Structure 1
Amino acid sequence: MSLIANWSYPTAIRFGAGRISEIADACATAGMKKPLLVTDKGLADMAITRQTLDLMEAAGLGRAMFSDVDPNPTELNADAGIGAFKDGVHDGVIAFGGGSGLDLGKLVAFMAGQTRPIWDFEDIGDWWTRADADAIAPIVAVPTTAGTGSEVGRASVITNSQTHEKKIIFHPKFLPSVVICDPELTVGMPKMITAGTGMDAFAHCLEAYCSPHYHPMSQGIALEGMRLVKENLLVAYHEGGNLEARGHMMSAAAMGATAFQKGLGAIHALSHPVGAVHHTHHGTTNAVVMQNVLSFNRPAIDARIEQAAHYLGIEGGFDGFYTYVGDLIAELGIPKTLTGLGVRDPDVEALVASALRDPSCGGNPIEMTETNTRELLLACL
């Protein structure tokens, strides 16, 4: 089976090995003549980034890059990126990288033409309508990991540097005009990042699947996304150069981010504040709390997880699925607790309060309260 395709759902996606070569055409399709490539500090000097800048330069697009992006990007990174965008008189953004580069790149394109502060566009009610939609610059997204799925998302996750809370900034036009999913760009990921980003994709699919909201399309996408992770994550982890497994994981990542339009839950409600305060890797944090959240939600999801286990070829219903998740996390070398992940002397009450403010908790199958969320967090520690 050839893993090369052009998809128009949920946006225009050019999928296949080597398709980064089409970056100039993708920019032209999006209407860019002078793009700014936004990526994170770790990717700035890597060969895949230099290759992309070379392709841009050869096509007359310049090779402008902004890379002052932290692993959990903040409004300070955004302000610097917006400054670079305006100073360079750019007309679009190539959001390049994992979740941090993609989220920050999308935010720069969104905010460069706005007059209100970032926090006025938080994903609350209809706040997104405050934006001047005509002032949003076009975006081409190029993921270099297989986890976040931000390349097909309508939001950016940004950490407030003052409150140390992760906030979701939303607008429909955050959705990139063109996406290039080239699995060759993910081959160089360290095993730890392959594991963490892969579990992020799995968490997106799992939480969307368990969410009580009605969205049958997302339900089907989430279930198939879990299957792709089950069949390919360990292959990608142990055989980093396996392009077929890498390609399927890129699909699973995009599927997870498409599916979670149905909702997320306690996994993300916990991992967002933990990551913001203790600077842990997002996907890895999701993995660490996953089994505890499954147990927490079991009264509401037992039958649904049993159906998923059957589809995935896992015996034993809920218990079998729970054991599978634990075995997967162990084989990926991910710690079993947040303490093992490096969370030291946490302010439990502050984390609980932040988790309950996180919009993800609204999609959890069981209502999250101060009491049960504290018990859940302590179990994860």
Structure 2
Amino acid sequence: MTELSGNWGYPTNIWAGPGRIHELPEACRQLGISRPLLITDAGLKDAPIVQETLAIAEGEGLHTTLFAEVKGNPVGANVDAGVTAYREGGHDGIIAFGGGSGLDAAKAVALMVGQTRPIWDFEDVGDNWKRANAEAIAPVVAVPTTAGTGSEVGRASVITNEATHEKKIIFHPRMLPGIVIEDPGLTIGLPAKVTAATGLDAFVHCFEAYCAPGFHPLADGFAIEGMRIIKEFLPRAYENGEDIEARANMLAAASMGAAAFQKGLGAVHAIAHPVGALYDTHHGLTNAIILPYVMQHNRPVIAERMDLVARVLDLPKGGFDGVLDWVLEFREAMNIPNSLAEIGVDAERSADIGRMAIEDPSAGGNPQQLTAETLEHIFLSAQSGTLREAV
């Protein structure tokens, strides 16, 4: 087994390796935090890893409070409640703990504790982020417990506006956590189903970033290597949740995917965001289902790029067909449904999803120009499971 520990400085300070959660108090001290608010999602509230983490913090004299009023798809009200808890508790920093929902909510709270404008004023459009009082953003230590979203190394949060049923990307450069602790031991208890969905979310991040147009060799390098790591280690983590080497590599790949998609995402995320907002689906699973339908649609403009992907992944068949066949087999091996209908998504709001998807910032990174009608068509193909019609 290769060495699994290391300190990395890109895109932020990352402390990776088994057992490193015990360095949480030192991470807080380095960021000037003495009274952290630990924010996670409701599903982890009573989990042993949360209670053990609180004990580690308290044992080193950090007066830590738990806030877990966060939905699986966090909403603005969750952020508001977190801001209230932060202020009333006299906290001076945040421990963002959990999967993408907990991390996104925590980073949004960190942004909002010092602002007077509503959160929607900081949507990732133009230079909205300049409206924020940057000096008032709280410091964050991020502790991911799933290997998927890569939110621990991101400068944005996806928050649902319940009034409009739209997912909004809230952005500020200082939302990037100051220190990330990637302890694979915290992911050991992740069920196989969640391991697969979150792992494929990381793969979609890498794949869409690689396919996004523009010159960004750094992002492409992260994306290609991230895909290779996921191909090798996700099946191992899925089959044996206690495989610490697989878990460590998947945490790294998730962070690599998020670093890569600074280049851009695409139609998978543009569709998945409104589907998640309207049907409350799991984000990673939604991405995993939609991916091949977007690949099929984008084929004319990404086919040439698939030659390298096929070589790096060491696939038995090269080119676009080889990559698409492998993606379909990879999903099937981990029991990912083939259609959105299988996870309770109907076709009744297809026009709404097309309209919302074209307005999503992710749509701008798609390698082929999109329209609301095109996105609606792709959604309907993914909803019904008819891959050949996704062109």
User: Is 2:363 the partner of 1:361?
Assistant: yes
Aligned to 2:169, the other structure's residue is in SS state strand
* Post-superposition offset of 1:345: 4.8
Give 1:346's aligned residue: 348
TM-score by length of structure 2 reads 0.96
User: Is 2:333 the partner of 1:337?
Assistant: no
User: 1:54 touches 1:63 (CA, 8 Å); kept in 2?
Assistant: no
1:111-150 alignment runs, 5 A limit: 111-150=112-151
Measured in 2, the distance between the counterparts of 1:229 and 1:353 equals 32
**RMSD between aligned residues:** 0.7
1:1-381 alignment runs, 5 A limit: 1-314=2-315, 315-381=317-383
Q: For residues 255-313 of structure 1, what are the alpha-carbon distances to aligned partners after superposition, in whole Å with 9 as ceiling and x for unaligned?
A: 00000000000000010000111011001000101111000000000010121111110
Measured in 1, the distance between the counterparts of 2:318 and 2:219 equals 25
Q: Which sections of structure 2, spanning at least 5 residues, go unmatched?
A: 384-391
Tell me the amino acid that sits aligned with residue 151 of structure 1. Answer: E
Measured in 2, the distance between the counterparts of 1:372 and 1:20 equals 45
Give 2:387's aligned residue: none
Measured in 1, the distance between the counterparts of 2:96 and 2:379 equals 34
Q: Which sections of structure 1, spanning at least 5 residues, go unmatched?
A: none
Q: For residues 74-121 of structure 1, what are the alpha-carbon distances to aligned partners after superposition, in whole Å with 9 as ceiling and x for unaligned?
A: 000000000000000100000000000000011111100001110100
Are the structure 2 counterparts of residues 371 and 344 from structure 1 closer, same or farther at C-alpha, using a change threshold of 3 Å? closer
Aligned to 2:228, the other structure's residue is in SS state helix
Aligned to 1:17, the other structure's residue is in SS state coil
* Post-superposition offset of 1:370: 2.4
Measured in 2, the distance between the counterparts of 1:96 and 1:346 equals 36
TM-score by length of structure 1 reads 0.99
Aligned to 2:262, the other structure's residue is in SS state helix
Question: Which range is displaced more, 126-135 or 368-377?
Answer: 368-377
Identity of aligned residues (%): 54
* Post-superposition offset of 1:344: 2.8
Runs of 4+ in 1 over 6 A off after TM superposition: none
Q: For residues 135-173 of structure 1, what are the alpha-carbon distances to aligned partners after superposition, in whole Å with 9 as ceiling and x for unaligned?
A: 011000000000000000000000001111110000000
Tell me the amino acid that sits aligned with residue 303 of structure 2. Answer: D
Give 2:386's aligned residue: none
Aligned length: 381
Tell me the amino acid that sits aligned with residue 33 of structure 1. Answer: S
Q: For residues 1-24 of structure 1, what are the alpha-carbon distances to aligned partners after superposition, in whole Å with 9 as ceiling and x for unaligned?
A: 211000011111000000000000
Measured in 2, the distance between the counterparts of 1:166 and 1:69 equals 15
* Post-superposition offset of 1:378: 1.0
* Post-superposition offset of 1:342: 1.3
Measured in 2, the distance between the counterparts of 1:101 and 1:312 equals 32
